[in-house]
Amino acid sequence: MARRGLISLFVIFLLAAEILAHEKTYNVVDFGAKGDGYTDDTQAFVNAWSWICHNSTRPSALLIPAEKTFLLDRIVFRGPCNYAIHLKQCPFEAAHNLELLSCTYVQIWGLKLINSPMMHIAVGQSKNVYIGGITISSPSDSPNTDGVHIQKSQHVMVTDSVIGTGDDCVSMSDGAVDVSVSNVTCGPGHGISIGSLGIAGTVATASDIYVSNCTFSQTTNGGGSGFARNISFVNIKMNEVHYPIIIDQYYCPHKSCSYKTAAVQVSDVKYLDVAGSSTSKLAITLNCSQTVPCTGITMDNVNLWSANQGQQVQSNCINAKGSAGNKISPAVPCLTTY
């Protein structure tokens, strides 16, 4: 699964790179943006995107000058557009959230987002989205400030970025398919979250997710999944993470949830080459439904230890089935050794 997902994303972004090599560049300043850090430039950004989206006769880039600071409210970049659009050279600060809806072949590179009151970047109903080289920062106690949220979108890559928020660094749910997250430094925050229970009991699922070469520092969770399948966490480093590995079919993001036993199955989740420290005794938690157990859980070369000197870590395993390879610490008794 992971290899297939990576290959499809690689091909997609090779094609996107070839298309954008012939792009025409537009400067957001030419659409009225001031970039002085005090003037609200939201409408100028919307005007620039809208004009390029509907009037450009070839692939284009929207340039946001790096030497300026743009004050923005919530922005929705909505497609479909005539041609691919690339956001580049754009470390803009003091921004609220950036939302991509119904977009195809979008590249975002070099953004710097600070203190959004909600999700910093949201990707919805989009395909072939590349997000790289971004920096996201908000206080560790700020709720609902996910770094990147991906929903109802396919073929998305998030790479080479530093994300610290009060919520998930990267979250995926409800139709997130074929997503790659690589070389991301996460913390503070809740880690990388895959799948969750939606509002009013609606079920959100995510599949074909590949997380690799990421570092979690002082986060609540490391790699976690609620309702998901075909997920891989490969070459992950944990530094003082509260729950480094967690699968919870009873996860409740709201104040009140109906804990029904008929959960959506979590299946085919792999943890390979995962190492680091845990601030809690439970370094590994597999909390699965009695009615629909977790299946196909695979662990190999997992080494987790306590961040507190002299303490030991342990695992908790309920209704989970799968296999364990070499060097699994702490031991996970519900997984069969192979």
DSSP string, 154-179: EEEEEEEEEEE-SS-SEEEESSEEEE
- Which residue matches tokens 């396919």? 154
Please confirm, yes or no, whether 190 is among the known catalytic residues: yes
Mention every residue, 6+ apart, whose C-beta is less than 8 A from residue 122: 97, 98, 99, 100, 146, 148, 149, 151
Q: Are 237 and 214 in contact (CB under 8 A)?
A: yes
Q: Which of 54, 190, 242, 254 is catalytic?
A: 190
Q: Are 64 and 90 in contact (CB under 8 A)?
A: yes
Q: Are 49 and 42 in contact (CB under 8 A)?
A: no
CA distance 223 to 195: 11
Spatial CA neighbour of 113 closest among 130, 96, 88: 96
Q: What is the DSSP letter of 219?
A: B
CA distance 81 to 60: 11
Mention every residue, 6+ apart, whose C-beta is less than 8 A from residue 165: 120, 136, 137, 138, 140, 142, 145, 146, 147, 188, 189
Spatial CA neighbour of 35 closest among 114, 87, 94, 78: 94
CA distance 268 to 337: 16
CA distance 223 to 198: 19
Mention every residue, 6+ apart, whose C-beta is less than 8 A from residue 126: 79, 100, 101, 102, 103, 104, 106, 153, 156
Spatial CA neighbour of 271 closest among 249, 305, 296, 298: 298
Annotated catalytic residues are 190
